[in-house]
Amino acid sequence: MISASEFRNGVTIEFEGNIYQIIEFQHVKPGKGAAFVRTKLKNIKSGGVVEKTFRPTEKVENAHIDRKDMNYLYNDGELYYFMDNETYDQIAVNKDVIGDSLKFVKENDTCKVVSHNGNIFGIEPPLFVELLITECEPGVKGDTATGATKPCTVETGATLNVPLFVNQGDTIKIDTRTGEYLSRV
């Protein structure tokens, strides 16, 4: 159990049957009345953000989130398969849980499988990946003032915008959080 006066950014709690991560907190002592703690909570499973106020003495359950490195093996349409690097156990994760998080991840890349009490609710891809460009139109120089880009497709099938000097067959580095081109490799 953790009391509201001990809240810090990044702490995960169980509240009203959901798991939340504290994004922001503020201890408020008004001139009149009792003190309270104003928080912004992010629902870890759905991604929604809510604002709640707590009394400083109010206690909530501390949630322990497990992040485990696992190799992404393959998908068969509805299920994505991962292998534990230590025990070689394989698990299957539903497409709904994965969402868009694997669009820049190749087979055999290491991802973090995020779970609470054994229930997997998310996949965290590596922060940066290096992928080969499989399809890209040639860049056309023209009346561009600054930073012109063109769409291209990488080996995982995802599409992103790259600078005009990048060509088909180049290997590029991508930030998986934003889906942006970083550099050529």
- Residues 53-96 pLDDT 10s: 999 889 999 888 888 899 999 988 888 899 998 898 999 888 87
User: What fold does the segment set 2-62 form as a domain?
Assistant: SH3 type barrels. (2.30.30)
* Position 138, amino acid: P
In sequence order, the 6+-apart residues with CB closer than 8 A to the CB of 20 are 12, 13, 14, 41, 42, 43, 44, 50, 63
Alpha-carbon 145 to chain mean position:
34
Contact, 172 vs 182, CB < 8 A? yes
Q: Which pTM does this prediction carry? A: 0.71
* pLDDT class of 143 with cuts at 50, 70, 90: low
Tell me the torsion sign for CA atoms 31, 37, 40, 46. Answer: negative
| Domain spanning 66-124, CATH architecture | Beta Barrel (2.40)
From residue 135, alpha-carbon distances to 58, 105, 138, 157, 171 in Å are 56, 17, 10, 9, 12
Listed in order, the ranges of the chain carrying CATH 2.30.30.30 are 2-62
| Domain spanning 128-184, CATH architecture | Beta Barrel (2.40)
179, pLDDT greater than 60? yes
Listed in order, the ranges of the chain carrying CATH 2.40.50.140 are 66-124, 128-184
